[in-house]
Every structure is written in structure tokens, then in C-alpha cells.
Amino acid sequence: MEAFEQLKRLIADIEADIAKAEGGNKAAGTRVRQVMQDIKNAAQDIRAKILEIRDAGKQG
């Protein structure tokens, strides 16, 4: 599932900025917050796709 792969990439890509933000880097904190919103949206997309798969199975 492409949406799940995207979610994994987002998490992996933000790892360094999380460490920087913990060290007090405000710009890194801003980047983390922005990517966390993208992660939230990607997770919601996955949830919707899983529901579509589930509902498609009920129709048959």
C-alpha cells in the first residue's frame, strides 16, 4: 500500500529534526510540527483505505 510506505518515509525523514528540536533548535521544531501534520493526514488516508477494503468485502 503506497500510503503506508509514504507514512514510513515521513517518519524516517523527520527523525533527525526531532533530535535537533529536543536540543532546542526552533526551526527543527517547526519542521517537526509540519511533518507531524502530514503524518496525521497520511494515517487518516490509510484508515480510509482500510475501511474501503473492509466494506468492499461485505458487498460480495
Residue 60 in this model has a pLDDT that exceeds 60: no
- pLDDT tens digits, 23-46: 999 999 999 999 999 999 999 999
With a pLDDT cut of 70, the percent of the chain lying above it is 98
Task: Judge if pTM exceeds 0.85.
Answer: no
Residue 28: closest CA among 42, 14, 41: 14
Q: How far apart are CA 46 and CA 10, in angstroms?
A: 14
What are the sequence ranges of the domains in the chain?
Answer: 2-59
At 54, is the pLDDT very low, low, confident or very high (cuts 50, 70, 90)? very high
Segment 13-30 mean pLDDT: 96
Q: Name 50's Cβ contacts closer than 8 Å, sequence gap at least 6.
A: none
